[in-house]
A and B are shown apart, each in its own frame.
Chain A
Amino acid sequence: MQPHSSNTRKLVTGFVLALALTLIAFAAVWTLAFPVELTFGIIAISALFQVAVHLHYFLGIDSKTPVENILAMAFAGVLIFLMVGGSLWIMFDLYERMMM
């Protein structure tokens, strides 16, 4: 979490990785070179990797990050899983039943 743990090389590495992942996703959508399902997979995987790259290289999350910060992030993850997962489950189940 401390600013001194980051340095120029780490920042530039993060930028190159983030740029590459962004370009992969945009190129897949722009060219439509692959089937739609595969393109969705490419978007999802490059987005997840890019979030990880940003967390590590830009926000400085690593093994030295205080455990309470990681716990707060994990708790937010649980809340997001419950609320987003629950909302989508209920609403799409409702759509399906309304169309019967």
Chain B
Amino acid sequence: MNSYRPTTSRSPGPTEETLDVRDFGFWLYLMTDAVIFSLLFATYVVMFQNTATGPLPVEVFDIKHVFAETMFLLVSSVTFGFASLACVREHKGQAIIWLIVTIIFGLGFISLEVAEFVGMINSGAAPQTSGFLTAFFSLVGTHGAHVSLGMIGITVMIFQILIKGLTSPVKSRLHRLGMFWHFLDIVWIGIFSIVYMPAWLI
């Protein structure tokens, strides 16, 4: 709790206590997001056999592709962790470098995902083709949208660190963004375990 210091400039700024309350509020948001993702998972499990005249899951998923996506996201989670550590240790330059590395891995993940989606749609596996594909694009697309928003957040944080420095509100925001980013990696564990892997086994 000692890493948050009240700001000493003209405005009094948020106190340590209000920053802790914001952490808790953000935690509540993450829990509601977990409920949304759980229901998208439930929808997928209910729908994945409803392929209509479209392709089967095993025909549209590529294990090497998914493995690469998984590695990009896992490594980006760790590099964000290093950014958070650098921030706690007041190493401004290091924090920015680790955030840039995180964005690079995040972009790697998103470009693989976009390539996967475009490839599927061009081969006739579009969201409107079958119940299975609607549920697939809803779940994985929602996750991808979250990752994209997270990368916008990281970009904003890089500029905040550059312009405002590592003040306690900036540190507190970076901490919450880190919670968001790590949370998305947890959702991805569910996606490769529930969506992709069973498709290659059934």
Contacts and interface: CB of A to CB of B under 8 A. Distances in A.
B201 interface: yes
A4 interface: yes
B78 interface: yes
User: From DSSP, what is the main secondary structure of chain A's interface residues?
Assistant: helix
B23 A58 contact: no
B63 A29 contact: yes
B18 interface: no
Contacts of A73: 31
Size class of the A contact interface (CB-based, 8 Å):
35 or more
B162 interface: no
A4 B201 contact: no
Nearest to A46: B193
Contact of B27 (A7, A50, A72): A72
Given A54-B182, A59-B179, A6 B81 contact: yes
A2 interface: yes
Interface in B136-185: 171, 175, 178-179, 182-183, 185
A84 interface: yes
A2 B38 contact: no
Contacts of A80: 34-35, 38
User: From DSSP, what is the main secondary structure of chain B's interface residues?
Assistant: helix
Given A1-B23, A15-B74, A88-B46, A7 B85 contact: yes
A33 to B, nearest CB: 12
Given A3-B3, A76-B32, 11 more contacts: A6-B85, A8-B85, A11-B78, A14-B81, A22-B74, A43-B197, A72-B28, A76-B34, A80-B35, A88-B46, A91-B46
Interface of A: 1-4, 6-8, 11-12, 14-15, 18-19, 22, 25-26, 29-30, 32, 36, 39-40, 43-44, 46-47, 50-51, 54-55, 58-59, 66, 68-69, 72-73, 75-76, 79-80, 83-84, 87-88, 91-92
15 contacts: A2-B1, A15-B78, A22-B70, A25-B197, A39-B201, A54-B189, A58-B81, A66-B24, A69-B27, A72-B28, A80-B35, A83-B35, A84-B39, A87-B46, A91-B46
